[in-house]
């Protein structure tokens, strides 16, 4: 019986889960929580096969291999948002669901579906969750689940020290942030569904949350068909700092220098190449074309999201 069947009919079953683990994701302290989750899944009767990425086998390769074996009810990404995206790339457009064990640094997708980070919440979602289909997007030909950032956050991610991030978590973003601010605002020509706009920083997002628990687009929902394009207009470093503070304090929707426009196709051009980040990882540089027309992804979500009355789907 599939996870979806159990979600609809109620009785507990024994799901077969392929767990794709990124050993480099998130703080090292999260490894103990992962081990506890695995132990509880086994006690719940789950059939598990744990596959760990290394230099020769990427998270995506392992997910594609698990998909090709046709014997798992779901493939589970254990790591951060980069691990989730790599696994989703293999599963998008297929009938196999993606599950999440959030042991990364920001864990934005887990927050988006209302998944609690405690062992019980994760185990309950993987054993008795329900299935939903969510939209994906593309930057050029690359799939993303969360957002694509062009400008400030692209610069930050491009210069991030990953080894330092594994040791100290979000504090590692401090030096790249200072470096990006010293570079000053970028100048972006942004075309949204054929209409021209200008910005100094742009985030094309499918989701509400950003960089952890910060709300970047309050109106974004899991079942949206379009992309929310959050455009920042800052003429100075000081104005840029003010916009960053607006994001950090949950007031981005009220800042006069920030607009949120819904579209389906976004084209961004610059005079000189500007870094792009996808789901918190470096991607490429401008120009780029962003589309909301990625394949649908089946996602395992909690019946009752943690901290909410119900899911926004």
**CATH assignment at residue 170:** 2.60.200.40
The domain spanning residue 113 has which CATH number? 3.40.50.10330
Give the model's pLDDT for residue 2. Answer: 42
Residue 27 has pLDDT above 80, yes or no: no
Please report whether residue 312 resides in a domain.
no
61 lies in some domain = yes
Give pLDDT, residue 253. 83
- pLDDT surpasses 80 at 306: no
- What pLDDT, on a 0 to 100 scale, did the predictor assign at position 223? 82
DSSP track, the chain: --HHHHHHH------EEEEEE-TTSS-TTHHHHHHHHHHHHHHTT-EEEEEE--SSS-HHHHHHHHHHHT--SEEEEEESHHHHHHHHHHHTTSSPEEEEEE-SSS-HHHHHTT--SSHHHHHHHHHH-EEEEE--EEETTEEESSEEEESHHHHHHHT--HHHHHHHGGGGGHHHHHHHHHH----EEEEETTEEEEESEEEEESSSEETTTEES-TT--TT-SSEEEEEE--SSHHHHHHHHHHHHTT-GGG-TTEEEEEESEEEEE-SS--EEEETTEEEEESSEEEES-PPPEEEEE-SS-TTSSS---
Residue 47 confidence class, pLDDT cut points 50, 70, 90: very high
Pair (149, 128) in one structural domain: no
Instruction: Please count the structural domains in the chain.
Output: 2
Question: Is residue 107 domain-shared with residue 154, that is, in the same domain?
Answer: no
Provide mean pLDDT across the span 285-304: 94
When mean pLDDT is compared over 50-64, 153-167, 257-271, the highest value belongs to 257-271
pLDDT, tens digit, 9 for 90 and up, residues 174-185: 999 999 999 889
- 115 and 220: one domain? no
Residue 309 lies inside a defined structural domain of this protein: no
The pLDDT value recorded for residue 307 is 59
176 plus 69 within the same structural domain? no
* Predicted pLDDT of residue 269: 98
Pair 144, 286 in one domain: yes
Mean pLDDT of 265-278: 97
* Residue 276 and residue 156 share a domain: yes
pLDDT value at 21 more than 90 = yes
Residues 50, 26, single domain; the answer is: yes
Range of 196's domain?
A: 139-291
pLDDT digits over 225-265, tens only? 899 999 999 889 999 999 999 998 888 888 899 999 999 99
């Amino acid at each position: 019986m599939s996870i979806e069947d159990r979600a609809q009919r109620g009785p507990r079953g024994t799901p077969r889960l392929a767990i794709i683990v990124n050993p480099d994701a998130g703080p090292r302290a999260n490894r103990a929580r992962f081990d506890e989750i695995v132990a509880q899944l086994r006690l719940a009767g789950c059939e598990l096969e744990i596959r760990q990425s290394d230099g020769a086998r990427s998270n995506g390769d392992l997910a594609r291999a698990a998909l090709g074996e046709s014997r798992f009810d779901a493939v589970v990404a254990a790591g951060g948002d980069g691990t989730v995206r790599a696994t989703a790339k293999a599963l998008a457009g297929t009938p196999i669901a993606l599950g999440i064990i959030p042991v990364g640094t920001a864990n934005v997708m887990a927050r988006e579906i209302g998944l609690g980070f405690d062992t019980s919440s994760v185990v309950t979602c993987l054993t008795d969750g329900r299935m939903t289909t969510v939209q994906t997007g593309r930057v050029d030909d690359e799939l993303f689940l969360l957002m694509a950032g062009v400008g400030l956050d692209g610069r930050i991610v491009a210069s991030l020290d990953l080894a330092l991030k594994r040791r100290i978590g979000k504090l590692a973003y401090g030096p790249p942030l200072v470096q990006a601010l010293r570079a000053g605002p970028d100048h972006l020509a942004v075309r949204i569904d054929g209409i021209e706009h200008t910005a100094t920083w742009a985030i094309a997002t499918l989701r509400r949350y950003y960089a952890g628990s910060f709300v970047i687009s309050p109106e974004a929902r899991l079942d949206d068909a379009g992309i929310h394009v959050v455009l920042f207009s800052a003429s100075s470093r000081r104005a840029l700092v003010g916009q960053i503070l607006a994001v950090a304090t949950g007031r981005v929707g009220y800042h006069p220098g920030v607009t949120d426009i819904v579209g389906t196709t976004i084209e961004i051009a610059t005079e000189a190449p500007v870094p792009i980040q996808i789901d918190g990882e470096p991607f490429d540089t401008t120009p780029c074309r962003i589309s909301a027309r990625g394949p649908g992804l089946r996602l395992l979500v909690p019946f009752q999201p943690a901290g909410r009355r119900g899911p926004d789907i």
